[in-house]
Amino acid sequence: MAGVANPMAGFRLVAVDEKKRFMLALIAPAVLVLVFFQILPILTGANASFRDWHLNDPKKTWIGLTNYAYVVRDREFLNVVLPNTFGFLAASVAASLIAGLMLALLLNRQFPGRWLVQTIVLLPLMVAPVIAAIMIRWMFNDQFGIVNVILEAFGIAPIAWLTQKWTAFFAILLTDVWLWTPWFALLLLAALQSLPPEPFEAAQIDAASAWRTFRYITLPMLRPVIVVCVVIRAIDAFRTFDIVWTISGGGPARATEVFSIYAYVEAFQFLNFGRGSAAAVLGAIIIVVFAMALYRLLNRWVEVSR
């Protein structure tokens, strides 16, 4: 290129190019896989959302924003599904973060049998979530479920867990927290163990209480890990499907219906793939914006509280 006129500029250009080439080569395999097995299917789905695309009768005629208009005008979607989804997201992420943090602090100590406790805490990661969800659905059954058997042993009247909104919601939430707490615990424990020891030694010399050490040393140092964990988990919690589908099916009626169930029922039970895809694209937009805002907010909030 123009490098002939100015040898120095030419050199810089080559240097930059070489670096860029290296950068591109580093991500090339990932880009290839992503393009073919994620981006291409996602764009196909997005394309379907603008079309009259029933699975059993794919006319594929362009209908613009009709599917989107249906979803945003659906009162159930706005008044039931979205509040349920965000309520579930907030409760699940908060509860599993707190439980995971407590477990990580526990496992960060040295005590006999720590290894065993750690293995037990990781058990939820080893079972297929769908199987765990079926198991828990039976456990919460009002007739043969073990939960009511235990309650009765303590003299508490049996509860028909899955027939009312809040008890069903509780069972789902408990399952989700059970499944995801180990994930938080692992990441936080790894982070805890990599913290430098000096601030803790200083705190010990100053005879700071355990709570103060945690509040003013441990927590601020864990901040980046917590923020990343919460954001990633929030994205996944927004898409939660199989646990809710297996335990309550979104019922009773539509009381525990969350976003993914709404999209799934439209796309695969009513076979309106275009409308289901439109709901999915709307959901993606909502969660991209939400997660970004959450990331900013968490960072600022932790910054201020420090």
Interacting positions 177-236 with other proteins (CB under 8 A): 178, 181-182, 186-187, 189-191, 193-194, 199, 202-203, 206-213, 215-217, 220, 224-225, 228-229, 232, 235
Separation CA 291–CA 284 (nearest Å): 10
Per rule CB under 8 A, count of chain residues that contact other proteins: 137
Q: Which two tokens stand for residue 290?
A: 């939400």
| Contacts of other proteins in 248-277 (CB under 8 A) | 248-249, 251-254, 259-260, 263-265, 267-271, 273, 276-277
Task: Find the shortest distance in angstroms from Cβ 1 to other proteins.
Answer: 12
Touching other proteins, residues 124-153 (CB under 8 A): 124-132, 134-136, 138-139, 141-144, 146, 149
Give the integer Cα–Cα distance in Å for 256 and 74. Answer: 17
CB atoms within 10 A of CB 160: 15
Shortest distance, position 258 Cβ to other proteins, whole Å: 11
Among residues 88, 122, 130, 91, the alpha carbon closest in space to that of 243 is found at 130
Cα angle 177, 180, 181 (rounded to 5 degrees) comes to: 75
Compute the distance between CA of residue 294 and CA of residue 291 in angstroms, rounded to an integer: 5
Q: Provide the token pair at 191.
A: 């982070």
Does 121 bind other proteins (CB under 8 A)? Our answer is: yes
Tell me: does residue 299 bind other proteins (CB under 8 A): no
| DSSP letter (8 states) at residue 158 | P
For residues 257 and 84, the answer to whether their CB atoms sit within 8 Å is yes
For residues 192 and 221, what is the distance between their CA atoms, to the nearest angstrom?
9
Q: How far is the CB of 244 from other proteins (least distance, A)?
A: 13
Q: Write each residue from 1 to 40 as x if it is in contact with other proteins (CB under 8 A), else as -, in one continuous string.
A: ----------------xxxxxxxxxxxxxxxxxx-xxxxx
Select from 5-13, 90-98, 120-128, 296-304 the region that touches other proteins (CB under 8 A).
120-128
Distance CA 272, CA 263 (A): 10
Per CB under 8 A, contacts with other proteins among 70-99 are: 70, 73-74
Q: What angle, 0 to 180 degrees and rounded to 10, lies between the N-to-C axes of helices 219-238 and 165-193?
A: 140
Closer residue to other proteins in complex, CB, 10/124? 124
Written as one letter, the residue type at 129 is: P
Among 3-11, 88-96, 175-183, 296-304, the segment contacting other proteins (CB under 8 A): 175-183
User: 53-72: which residues touch other proteins (CB under 8 A)?
Assistant: 54-58, 70
- Residue 244 or 279: the one with the smaller Cβ distance to other proteins is 279
